[in-house]
Amino acid sequence: MERNVPKPEVIGSVASTYTRAVRMVCEEKGIEYTLTETQLTAPELFTVHPLGKMPVLRHGDVRLFESKAIATYLDRVFAGPQMFPSAPLPAALTEQWVSFVNTVVDRTFIRTYLYAYIAARLGNREPDRNAIVSVLPDLHRQIAILNEAVKPTGFLVGERFTFADINLMPILHRLSQAPEGNDALAGAAHLSKYYEQHAKRDSFQRTNPPEGPPSRAK
pLDDT for 114-172, tens place per residue? 999 999 988 999 999 999 999 999 999 999 999 999 999 999 999 999 999 999 999 99
Tell me what the mean pLDDT of segment 65-88 comes to: 98
Closest CA to 48 of 60, 59, 63: 63
On whether the CB atoms of residues 170 and 21 are closer than 8 A, the answer is yes
- Mean pLDDT, the chain, rounded, equals 94
pTM comes to 0.93
Q: What whole-number percentage of the chain has pLDDT above 90? A: 91
Write out 85-125 in H/E/C secondary structure. Answer: CCCHHHHHHHHHHHHHHHHHHHHHHHHHHHHHHHHHHHCCC
Q: Looking at the chain, which runs of residues are DSSP E strands?
A: 9-12, 34-37, 56-59, 62-65
Domains in the chain, ordered, with CATH?
Answer: 88-202 (1.20.1050.10)
Closest CA to 71 of 8, 27, 25: 25
Mean pLDDT is lowest, of 147-161, 176-190, 201-215, for 201-215
Vertex 52: Cα angle to 46 and 57 (nearest 5) = 70
Q: Give the pLDDT score at 189.
A: 98
Q: Give the pLDDT score at 217.
A: 42
Query: Is the confidence at residue 53, as pLDDT, over 50?
Result: yes
Q: In whole angstroms, how far apart are CA 160 and each of 90, 94, 97, 157? A: 10, 11, 14, 7
The CA distance from 33 to 27, in Å, is 9
